[in-house]
Amino acid sequence: MNTVIYADHAATTRLSDKALQAMLPWLQEEYGNPSQPYSFSRKPKKAIAEARETIASCIGAQPDEIFFTSGGTESDNWAIKGTALSHGREGALLVSAFEHHAVLRACAAVAADGWPVSYINPTKDGIIIPENLNRLMTTATRTVSIMMANNEIGIIQPIKQLATIAHDHNAIFHTDAVQAAGHIPVNVEDLGVDMLSASAHKFNGPKGTGFLYIRKGTKIIPHENGGGQEFGQRAGTENVAGIVGMAVALQENVEALDRNQRHLKKLEDRLLQGIQDLPYIHNCACQPHLPGLLSLSFPRCDGEAILHRMDLMGICISTGSACDSKRTVISHVLQAIKMDEKIARGTIRISLGPENTLEEADAIAAGLRRIITGKMQQ
């Protein structure tokens, strides 16, 4: 029996039973290469087309605007590098300073090759203010990338307003929705984005599968050259089982969205109630955030030590800082929101999922109480 209390859903999620069942036939029975012309390949080809339609309908896109990838990292890299390379070196990129490393390191790579990249800072509350974006836009800005929801602090950005500003300056707008898809409503038409990254393993789909939404007419170069798969934009034999599993998982999550959100809110409240007399800061609590994701700072504590003590109790959580041999390294996200280093050191991330129970929320709170009150008595 699995006795682990898993509260790190922002890191990854369990594959749903329905997704697993939907994936199995494509691994051993129907293993034909979807690109082959014979009838044995017809079913996998059809399965991919249906998955593309399902995913498109989940995010308000057209099926031929969905491009399958190996996950969030690849989608982000394609969006950044593909648009940079599609315009001349005078074309600049503007991204938020607390993007996931998949965006930031893709930007560093294009910057090293001569494309100018500039960064916009969030407020202390973790918000990218549209007027600040407006001020930073120049006639050279061609691509803007701002994540829909941050993976450490969970804050949800005003993507619609930000995309409008990018468009007012004739720039393309990309959003990394890896933490958002399947957890909050995501509709590319409502948001007005040109590109959107998602990753299956964040919404109970399989690892190593994701997609990039690319609005028709967006200037971007192909990501992989080879066979003509993915409309000639991303070559390589398709991960049929992964794609099918991703579509099933996304649809399942989208259908259960309201119910899951209500449950997660209850779990959050219960957990916070259980630690209410402890000295802690609930980071960016006044801003809209991902349901179930709590960024908590315990002053004068060490987040990494809390993580390991929780681990000994069979509870999986995450942290916003890590110690190397000499010092504590504060995450770029906490640095971007200008969190005091002493507070940042004691920051943990708890990301609850729909499968967590109220009893588990109580156990997490009890675990934190044991650690923090024990520390307070030292």
The mark string for 53-92 relative to ligand PLP (x by CB under 6 A, - otherwise) is ------------------xxx--x----------------
User: What's phi and psi for 46, nearest 5 deg?
Assistant: -65, -40
State the nearest-atom distance from the C-beta of 271 to ligand PLP, in Å: 21
Query: Which range binds ligand PLP by CB under 6 A, 171-179, 221-229, 277-285, 299-307?
Result: 171-179
- Closer to ligand PLP at the Cβ: 178 or 264? 178
With CA atoms as reference, report the closest residue to 19 among 192, 184, 227, 182: 182
Give the position of tokens 């969205």: 257
State the nearest-atom distance from the C-beta of 362 to ligand PLP, in Å: 27
Query: Which range binds ligand PLP by CB under 6 A, 174-182, 242-250, 251-259, 300-308?
Result: 174-182
Instruction: Give me 305's structure tokens.
Output: 């030590």
- Closer to ligand PLP at the Cβ: 75 or 229? 75
Rounded CA gap, 8 and 315, in Å?
9
Of all helices (H) and strands (E), which one includes residue 189? helix 188-191
Q: Please name every residue paired with 176 in a beta bridge, in sequence order, or none if there are none.
A: 197
User: Does position 8 bind ligand PLP by CB under 6 A?
Assistant: no
State the nearest-atom distance from the C-beta of 89 to ligand PLP, in Å: 26
Instruction: Please say whether the beta carbons of 293 and 348 come within 8 A.
Output: no
Longest dimension (CA), the chain: 72
For the chain, the C-alpha Rg in angstroms (whole number) is 21
Among 16, 151, 229, 233, binds ligand PLP (CB under 6 A): 151
State the nearest-atom distance from the C-beta of 74 to ligand PLP, in Å: 7
Instruction: Give me 313's structure tokens.
Output: 């109790």
User: Does position 199 bind ligand PLP by CB under 6 A?
Assistant: yes
- Closer to ligand PLP at the Cβ: 9 or 270? 9
The residue type of 253 is N
Neighbouring CB atoms inside 10 A of 113's CB total: 11
- Closer to ligand PLP at the Cβ: 18 or 105? 105
User: Does position 204 bind ligand PLP by CB under 6 A?
Assistant: no
Positions marked catalytic: 323
What is the total count of residues that contact ligand PLP (CB under 6 A)?
Answer: 13
Among 8, 65, 176, 194, binds ligand PLP (CB under 6 A): 176
User: Does position 250 bind ligand PLP by CB under 6 A?
Assistant: no
Instruction: Please say whether the beta carbons of 303 and 320 come within 8 A.
Output: yes
- Closer to ligand PLP at the Cβ: 181 or 267? 181
Among 51, 80, 94, 102, binds ligand PLP (CB under 6 A): 102
User: Does position 289 bind ligand PLP by CB under 6 A?
Assistant: no
- Closer to ligand PLP at the Cβ: 92 or 333? 333
Instruction: Give me 361's structure tokens.
Output: 């929320």
Contacts of 71 (CB under 8 A, 6+ apart): 199, 200, 201, 207, 208, 209, 210
Instruction: Give me 124's structure tokens.
Output: 């202390």
> Residue 50 to residues 63, 83, 198, 240, 312: CA-CA distances in angstroms?
9, 28, 18, 11, 44
User: Does position 356 bind ligand PLP by CB under 6 A?
Assistant: no
Interface residues with ligand PLP (CB under 6 A)? 71-73, 76, 100, 102, 147, 151, 176, 178-179, 199, 210
